[in-house]
Amino acid sequence: MKEISTKEVQQRLEAGEQLNLIDVREVQEVQAGHIPGIVNIPLGLIEFRMHELDRNIPYIMVCRSSARSGQATAFLESQGYEVKNMVGGMLEWEGAVE
């Protein structure tokens, strides 16, 4: 499974890079604070909503600690998507939060 650090994601966003972030936490968790610009698809809905994602676009999966996003990354990878898991999740995130 491909991984990316919270620091690298933060640096790339602060440099103005457009990243495709998918937050797989539950809606209430995301409402409590999330990285600006994320798309929220709770882990339990990934299988049913993956048709909304483009196999030609790389995605970074995010959750609280990187466990759920790891599951989502493994699943989407097995379905032919280009995905990375943000290791450490929101617990280690030091960048901007909405």
Active site residue 63: yes
**Catalytic residue of the set 43, 63, 87, 90:** 63
Nearest to 69 by CA among 8, 6, 32, 22: 22
Q: What is the DSSP letter of 39?
A: E
**Cα(97)–Cα(21) distance, rounded to whole angstroms?**
13
Answer yes or no: are the C-beta atoms of 86 and 4 closer than 8 Å. Answer: yes
Question: Which value, in Å, is the radius of gyration of the alpha carbons in the chain?
Answer: 12
Q: Which residues are catalytic?
A: 63
